[in-house]
Structure formats: C-alpha cells, structure tokens
Amino acid sequence: MTTIRAAEPSTFDRVLDAAFDEALLEVIERAEHGGPSGLFPRELIENLGSAGVFAGIWPVGAHADMASVVRLSERLGGLGSASAAAGVSAHNTALAILRRFGRSDYLRELADRATRGDAVVGLGATEAGGGSDFAMLATTAEPTAAGFRVRGSKKFVSLSTVADAIVVVARAAGSHRDGGVTLFALRSDQIHVGRPYAKLGNGYLDTAPVEFDVEVPEEAMIARPGTGLAAASAGLVVERMSVAGLVVGACDLAIGVAVAQMMRRSQFGQTLFEHQALRLRFADLQARVDTVRYALKGLTVAGPVPFRAAAGMKVTAARLGEEVMSECLHIFGGEGYLTGPAPIEKWWRDMKLARVAAGGDEVLWETVASGMRPDLEAHERWVRS
C-alpha cells in the first residue's frame, strides 16, 4: 500500500506562519474597530517587512515571486479584512515597480527600506476622469536644469496618508499618448494629501486625492519617457494577481461561515444544508472558487505572468467574488441585511472594490480581447459559406 504524504509547507509559507502571529492579528483587529475614518496601520507593513515577508516575495533579482504574492494575498483575504489585503497589495505594487525599474542609489535605497517595512510606498496613477486610461494623463514632467518639474494631481491614491513615498505616473511635457509615459518617486513632503474619501467599504484603506508641483532630481525618475507604460504595467500584474488571491482567501472564509450557518439554521424541519437546492448552489460556488485557486497556482509556476493573463484572472476572480458574497449574504436572510449580527454584509461591501481597483471589468476585457487572434486556417477548413 502506497503512503501518500502531505506536501511540505514551502519556505515562504513558513515565513507567513511566523509573520501572522498574535501581534499582527491584533494590529488588524484594532484597525477594523477604528471606524471608517481610521487610517491604515503602518505597523502592518512594518511587521510583515521585519518578518521577511516582502523579502520572500523578492528573494533574488528584480522580479517578484508571483506564487508568494498570491499566497500572501490569500492569507490576508482569509482574515476577513479586505482593507489589510488591499493596503498590502498597494504597497507591493509600488514596491514591484521600484525593485524592477529603480536604478539610482536613491530608488534602490527606497526599495530596500520598503522591503524591510521601514517605508510605506503607494502608487498614484488615476486622474480625474481618466480611470485606467493613460492616454488621458494630465500630470506632466518637464526637464529643468536640476532635474524635472513634476506637477499634477491624482484622484485615488491608497496609503497616501501614511506613505513615505508615492510612485507617480506622469507624461513627459510635450509628448503625446503612450510614448511619453514616465514614472517618478515623490516623497511625502513633496505632496499635498487631501481629505480621505468616505467609501462604501474597506473602511481603513485610507484613499485620498493628492496634488503636487515640485522639482525633483533625475535620480527620482523610475522610468524614462517611452518606458513608463511598461513599468506601470509590470506593477499592475502584481496588483491584479494580488486581487485574485485576496478574492480566493475571502471566498474561502465567507463560504465556510455560510455553510456553518446552513448547518445550524433549520427551515421546514431540515437544516438549510439538507435542502438540496441550497447545498448544490454552494457546491457550484465552491467548485468555481477552487478552479480560480488552482488556475492561479498554475499561472504562477508557468513562468512570468503575462499582462493579458493577469487581467483575465483578476476580472474573473473579482466577478466570482462578488457573486459568492451575495449568495453568502442571502443565506443569512434578514439578519444578513443588518449591520452587526453577521460580518457578511461588510465582506459583501468590501468585495465590490475588487471589480473597480486595478482596472474595471471592461478595461480588463479589452486587454484580453487585444490578444485574441482569428484562426483563419481553421475557419476556411470548417466553415461553409
């Protein structure tokens, strides 16, 4: 008889096990009860950094280990705090850009500090009315005798109230469309942060508008004009895979809680779980969550994650996550619609961000569609006019 042994936890999983200690969970718990105006806790980034989590994502070289990115997001998503997962994802996204494209001593030092958790970094890309369309960039970078004058504004910048630096997407003055996209790292004292927005969910993921008009040295430039779009895209791959991992972890938690409710609550002489219609609906949800989980794993071990694949994975996971939360909320009936008795209503509100952040559905579908190619040979062979 063959003995099947459980797979040994990876080195990174052991790092996560050590990092997710009582101190880290207490940081998240305090933030969760700080109210919608509470700021994102820097301690979360600091604790993860000091535990070696970010160093584990970038063990060598400039490319992130995407399997570790997903595992971290799954763990955070499974804690029932989407704000924590989204905030760490924002830090990781900016850090991915810095580590891969930062060449100056200043940028390398900033990346090292962010990896250790000594610095918090965010990404400023979205402008008013622009969304994910970099062709509408109004932020400009104009050469000066001492470097560049970077001026403009960004509408949605997560972590802006606690960040030490923000990676800003701009356009070289006088250039047009994608060819002039460039990136800079601006210090917090070079940016004016506005009042954080009141949001539908993700209460302590502080997100605010920022404005800046500052002269910076050349060493603050992360990507020169013409390479900025590629640099920003590399960061978006990390963010979109993070979102997909967050969704899987959050769905596992929500389904587990909903199934427990189904086994404890009775209707018409049977537990809800004994009603076939409900049981099979949740079996369908669980199967699809598992499919996304294993698709993520397969994608992360196949080599560098293509931009198009990350887009497709994120939009697929986010839409499924919204459906899962809605069905889990439904299981709690009237109590599920109340604030307080069950956390599902909060998870339901938080999940909506997954379909908005890092590119809306339509933007990501366009990314997928742009890579589709017709099979003209098969069409000629099989289609009869």
pLDDT, residue 59, reads 86
Query: Measured between alpha carbons, how far is 171 from 181 in angstroms, rounded to an integer?
Result: 5
Residue 229 CA to residue 225 CA, distance in Å, equals: 9
In this predicted structure, what is the pLDDT of residue 5?
44
Q: How far apart are CA 149 and CA 141, in angstroms?
A: 5
Return the closest-CA partner of residue 86 out of 231, 245, 294: 245
Choose between 2 and 16: higher pLDDT: 16
Q: Are strands 121-124 and 140-143 parallel, antiparallel or unpaired?
A: unpaired
Q: How far apart are CA 24 and CA 20, in angstroms?
A: 6
pLDDT tens profile 348-378: 999 999 998 888 889 899 999 998 999 999 9
How far is C-alpha 141 from the geometric centre of its chain's CA atoms?
A: 27
Query: Which of these, 222, 212, 119, lies nearest to 167 by C-alpha position?
Result: 222
**Taking Cα atoms as reference points, which of 318, 194, 350 lies closest to residue 244?**
318
Name the more confident of 162 and 9: 162
- Mode of pairing for the β-strands spanning 207-216 and 148-158: antiparallel
60-72 residue pLDDT tens:
777 899 999 999 9
At residue 37, the pLDDT reads: 47
For residue 130, the model assigns a pLDDT of 60
How far apart CA 156 and CA 335 sit, in angstroms, is 33
Beta pairing partners, 151: 140, 213
Cβ atoms of 84 and 76 closer than 8 Å: yes
Q: What are the tens digits of pLDDT across the range 316-352?
A: 999 999 999 999 999 998 888 878 778 899 999 999 9
29-81: pLDDT as tens digits? 999 887 444 689 999 999 999 999 999 999 877 789 999 999 999 999 999 99
Cα torsion through 310, 61, 116, 108, rounded to 10: -100
Average pLDDT of span 126-147? 82
Amino acid at 329: L
Q: Which two tokens stand for residue 3?
A: 């003995």
> Residue 256: pLDDT above 60?
yes
DSSP category for residue 8: P
**Given a cut of 50, is residue 7 above it in pLDDT?**
no
> Average model confidence (pLDDT) for the chain?
90
Reduced DSSP (H G I as helix, E B as strand, rest coil) percent helix, strand, coil of the chain, to 5: 55, 15, 30
pLDDT class for 177, splitting at 50, 70, 90?
low
